[in-house]
A and B are shown apart, each in its own frame.
Chain A
Amino acid sequence: MLCEICKKNQATVHYTKIINGKIEELNVCEECAANSGEFSFDNPFSFHKLWTGLIEGFHDNKQKQSVDNLTCSFCGLDYSQFRKTGKFGCSKCYEVFEDQLVPLFKGIHGHDKHEGKVPIRANKKVANERKIEKLKVRLNELVQKEAFEEAAKVRDQIRELEKSLGDNRE
């Protein structure tokens, strides 16, 4: 699709405007979009500005250069592009950029490890491991409270799960 303003470049910005109930659709190239002044690309608190600020704080200039060259072989995205857009190109990017992601995720979520649902098919093992971790915490609490009978039950559950993990490994 060609840009509706200059009619020369490829339209890469697709834009639906609803003002006072009036719907208008625009398909323009980046250049015309920037010139039209319709788009507030320069909002100082836009997601991208905040994002760039967040991610750039992690590296000094020297590190930055070597990190920027990390490139995902599946989708072709390199780290400098990721830094600009704040979006991964594919699931493989997570492996390629792995070392950079921990501080980033901590910045966004306050955590760097998934605690939620595990796909059943993909990983029964992880689900059990996580269950064991949680039960161990519970066991400690119970022991502290001297609720030994309850604690014994939890201990048995842990043993059961550990046994099933062991069976899987064999």
Chain B
Amino acid sequence: MAKWIEGNGQYKDVVVSTRIRIARNLDNYRFPHKMSVEESERLTQEILDVMKNIPSDVSYKFYKINALTLTDRIAYIEEHLISPGLIQKPDHSSFLLRDDEKATIMINEEDHLRIQVLLPGLNFEEGWNGINQIDDFLEGYLEYAYDDRFGYLTACPTNVGTGLRVSAMVHIPCLSMIGHVDDMIRGFNKIGLTVRGIYGEGTEAAGDLYQISNQVTLGEDEEEIIRKLKNVIYQIINKERYVRDDLLKKKRYEIEDKIFRSYGLLKYARKISSKEAMKHLSNVRLGKEMGIIKDMEFKQIESLMIEIQPGSIQRIFKRELDDNERDIMRAKHIREKI
């Protein structure tokens, strides 16, 4: 199970996770896309040296991308511990993962440093405090690229300023059932927010999960950015809950039928694709959210949503599996967990 799922968070009936990341760069190095391997190694070493000063009650493990198998790289992305961008240039990139898996320091993604904190449920305050602490610690030793006017300098102009991307992953099956998601996405775009798929930029939505995040990083301070996003997430929570109640009142049997069919299918299927599994896990999660399914925990469902993905399922069975084998082993794994 991905460790970060452990722990309490608010509004778990709608919000799966909160993710906060900041982009930071160092002066005196070129940005990662312009770097030689030698330069990237020098920078990595500088950061590792700084990490030796970290307080003794926290510890991080260091991973080099080119030392990981392709399956492991994909599995870390599926667990949301690293971003897809980090594995694009394996010889340049690495990451430090905190033991509770709630914090990752990515080295040489698009920027020299991408620091992320990932928490279950809605939890912006703890997330921001966590990020801030790591940032303050690193800043004590590193020469950050910072400008009075433009703020933290980043490789891409879309991150300049705070370098902050705050996002919440929401599960909104009922808003999607009544066809409100497209309107929602259009509305958010107008107020400087974006909606992405489950692995971030350019990825598809699956299992009625959407990642909502700020777009603007310059001209608004961190608290403001967080406040704005939080207000929007509250609105989504209220709307999704309202539609759920309404559907339960008007179509109880249809909803229960849908949920228990999915539950039964997952419990007995002998072969299942990841797409089909996501769809039914989403229905089962809805069952849990509505109080219809009582013998499963949120963290169990969330872990399954990760474990059934192609990289993770191969990691669980400790070998490479082709399409067909994967569908069989996926079904087996789900049966064992439900």
Question: Does residue B289 face the partner (Cβ distance < 8 Å to A)?
Answer: no
Select one of B34, B70, B220, B222 contacting A111, CB under 8 A. B220
Give B168-195 interface residues, CB cut-off 8 Å to A.
192
Stretch of B158-166, B261-269, B294-302 at the chain-chain interface: B158-166
Do A114 and B218 touch across chains, with their CB atoms under 8 A apart?
yes
Q: Is the CB of A108 within 8 A of B157?
A: yes
**Does B99 have its Cβ within 8 Å of any Cβ on chain A?**
no
- Smallest CB gap from B135: residue in A: A117
Are B149's CB and A117's CB within 8 A? no
Select from chain B the residue with minimum beta-carbon distance to A114: B151
* B74 and A116 form a contact (CB under 8 A): no
CB of B283 within 8 A of chain A? no
A166 within 8 A of B: no
Choose one: A86, A91, A109, A123; the contact of B161 (CB below 8 Å). Answer: A109
Interface bin, chain A:
35 or more
Please tell me if the beta carbons of A115 and B220 are within 8 angstroms of each other in the complex: yes
- Chain A residues contacting B217 (CB-CB under 8 Å) are 109
Cα(A58)–Cα(B195), bound, Å: 29
Task: Assess whether B54 is interfacial by the CB under 8 Å rule.
Answer: no
Closest Cβ neighbor of A76 among chain B residues: B34
Residues of A within 8 A of B136 (CB): 120
Residues of A within 8 A of B30 (CB): 74-75, 89-90
Question: For the complex, is A145 an interface residue (Cβ under 8 Å from B)?
Answer: no
In the complex, per-residue mask of A53-78: 1 if CB is within 8 Å of any chain B CB, else 0: 00000000000000000000011010
CA of A86 to CA of B159, assembled, Å = 12
A87→B150 contact, CB < 8 A: no
Tell whether, in the assembled complex, residue A18 and residue B74 are in contact, meaning their CB atoms are under 8 Å apart: yes
B146 close to A14 (CB less than 8 A): no
Residues in A whose Cβ lies below 8 Å from that of B135: 117
Q: Flag if A115 contacts B221 (CB, 8 Å).
A: yes
Please, which residues of chain B bring their CB within 8 A of the CB of A44?
A: none
Contact of A112 among B34, B219, B220 (CB under 8 A): B219
Instruction: Tell me whether B33 is interfacial, beta carbon within 8 Å.
Output: yes
Q: A86–B87 contact, CB under 8 A?
A: no
Interface positions, chain B 206-257, Cβ under 8 Å from A, are 216-222, 224-225
Q: How far is the CB of A125 from chain B (nearest CB, A)?
A: 9
B273 CB → nearest A CB, Å: 7
Q: Which residues of chain B are near A21, meaning CB under 8 Å?
A: 273-274, 309-310, 323, 326
A-chain residues with CB within 8 Å of residue B147 when the two chains form the complex: 91, 94, 114
Across the interface, B218 reaches (CB within 8 A) one of A25, A105, A121, A123, namely: A105
Q: Are B33 and A23 in touch, CB under 8 angstroms?
A: no
Task: Name B residues whose Cβ lies closer than 8 Å to a Cβ of A.
Answer: 25-27, 29-31, 33-34, 70-71, 74, 84, 87-90, 110, 132, 135-136, 139-140, 144-158, 160-162, 164, 192, 216-222, 224-225, 273-274, 309-311, 322-323, 326
Not counting A94-B150, A112-B149, a sample of 15 additional A-B residue pairs whose C-beta atoms are within 8 angstroms of each other reads A21-B273, A22-B322, A90-B30, A91-B25, A91-B153, A105-B218, A111-B216, A114-B150, A115-B220, A116-B225, A117-B152, A119-B139, A121-B139, A121-B140, A123-B146
Instruction: Please list the 6 inter-chain residue pairs (A to B) with the smallest Cβ-Cβ separation, ordered nearest first.
Output: A111-B219, A114-B151, A91-B145, A21-B310, A109-B218, A116-B162
